[in-house]
């Protein structure tokens, strides 16, 4: 009878080990991954839908969008591992990691990176007399945002850029941006706050017969940064994406983050970044805001831990972390 040598035993064991690893990786890639977003109609949800479609079609990852009422709900889903991916703005993620927000401390959150900038604005009806943020004095302005607490900070920061505080306006309490837009359409408020590129903005524009963006003065940004340090103005020009923008101006911007849980495998996160980088056209087809996406742009100097799979990708590509604006 054939007696295997020590070398043949080692070769056989190595083969078994490699097969087990391949089987494990295959199972990992075959599982269903959730990506937690805000409600349909939001920019966040459209971004998540674009990412899910590309990862499913190009990487073979079964990614399903899980809509929620807002960041206060979706971030803990990822923190507990009930969804593998999430999209939220930078302040919500910073607060969650530090335990300073409404989500409670989420120590297992890990960054994949900045997926794109969130450009936001106050809109009024096209025939309204208001032109700038300062013109909101005495007007009905959405506040409260019980499911999206960061929005309150943004509203206060933008008001400050116009030399106003919440005491200078009439607050209209809302839970989220969808309700904020609906109240504007119904006439319950004089202005609404939303992100450029969101389907809801186009819906409101069509429903009320046209909307217009209120201008934010560059000179007011120092006051705005005292309330929301992560915000900045980025240049924008009239286009189908910038609904209601009638002339070139700086629009209020802050970063939108793609993040995951520490327990998600390094290989999966590495594969996610590579797939998104290689299939940008597919992302932009669904979400025009992702025109600015690059794998290098994911990596910024935020004081939040990045996932090891992301750091591996950045290191191999020679990416250095970019300064935050």
* Token pair belonging to 207: 């429903």
- Kindly report the CATH number that applies to the domain delimited by 31-117+255-317: 3.40.190.10
- Alpha carbons within 13 angstroms on the beta-carbon side of residue 296 total 6
Per-residue pLDDT at 58: 97
The set of residues, in sequence order, having a beta carbon less than 8 Å from that of 116 and lying 6+ positions away, is 47, 255, 256, 289, 290, 292, 293
Per-residue pLDDT at 30: 61
Q: Which residues pair with 76 in a beta bridge?
A: none
Please check whether residue 142 is in contact with residue 183, taking contact to mean a CB–CB distance below 8 angstroms. yes
Per-residue pLDDT at 123: 98
Rg (the chain; Cα; Å): 23
pLDDT means over runs of 10, the chain (325 residues): 38 40 44 94 94 97 94 94 96 89 90 95 98 98 87 94 97 94 98 94 97 97 94 94 96 96 98 98 95 96 95 98 85
CATH 3.40.190.10 residue window(s) in the chain: 31-117+255-317, 119-253
Per-residue pLDDT at 57: 97
Helix axes 149-161 and 90-98, enclosed angle (nearest 10): 130
What distance in Å separates the CA atoms of residue 212 and residue 230, rounded to the nearest whole number? 25
Indicate the fold that domain 119-253 takes in CATH.
D-Maltodextrin-Binding Protein; domain 2 (3.40.190)
Q: Which residues of 193-209 are buried (b: 16+ CB within 10 A; e: fewer)?
A: bbbbbbebbbebbeebe
* Token pair belonging to 217: 């003065």
User: What is the DSSP-derived secondary structure letter of residue 94?
Assistant: H
- Provide the pairing of β-strand 249-261 with 109-125: antiparallel
φ, ψ of residue 140 to 5 degrees: the values are -85, 115
What distance in Å separates the CA atoms of residue 230 and residue 318, rounded to the nearest whole number? 26
Q: Which residues of 85-109 are buried (b: 16+ CB within 10 A; e: fewer)?
A: bbbbbbbbbbbbbeeebbbeebebb
């Amino acid at each position: 009878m054939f007696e295997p040598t020590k070398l043949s035993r080692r070769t056989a064991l190595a083969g078994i080990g490699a097969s087990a690893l391949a089987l494990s990786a295959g199972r990992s890639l075959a599982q269903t991954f959730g990506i937690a977003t805000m409600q349909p109609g939001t920019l966040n949800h459209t971004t998540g839908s674009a990412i899910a479609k590309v990862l499913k079609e190009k990487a073979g990852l079964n990614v399903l969008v899980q809509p929620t009422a807002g960041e206060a709900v979706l971030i803990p889903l990822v923190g507990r591992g009930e969804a593998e991916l999430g999209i939220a703005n930078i302040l919500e993620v910073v607060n969650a990691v530090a335990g300073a927000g409404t989500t409670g401390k989420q120590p297992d959150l890990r960054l994949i990176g900045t997926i794109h900038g969130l450009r936001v604005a106050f809109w009024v009806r096209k025939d309204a007399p208001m032109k700038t943020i300062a013109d909101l004095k005495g007007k009905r302005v959405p506040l409260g945002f019980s499911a999206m607490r960061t929005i309150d900070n943004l509203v206060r920061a933008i008001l400050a850029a116009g030399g106003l505080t919440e005491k200078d306006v009439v607050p209209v309490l809302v839970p989220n941006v969808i309700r904020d837009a609906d109240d504007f359409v119904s006439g319950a408020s004089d202005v609404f706050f939303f992100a450029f590129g969101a389907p809801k903005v186009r819906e409101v524009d069509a429903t009320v017969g046209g909307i217009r963006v209120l201008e934010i003065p560059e000179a007011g940004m120092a006051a705005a940064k005292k309330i929301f340090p992560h915000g900045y103005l980025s240049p924008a020009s009239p286009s189908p994406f910038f609904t209601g923008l009638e002339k070139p101006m700086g629009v209020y911007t802050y970063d939108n983050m793609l993040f995951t849980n520490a327990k998600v495998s390094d290989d999966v996160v590495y594969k996610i970044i590579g797939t998104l980088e290689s299939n940008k056209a597919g992302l932009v087809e669904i979400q025009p805001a992702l025109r600015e996406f690059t794998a290098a742009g994911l990596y910024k100097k935020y004081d939040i831990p990045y996932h090891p799979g992301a750091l591996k990708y950045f290191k191999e590509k020679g990416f250095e972390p970019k300064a935050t604006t």
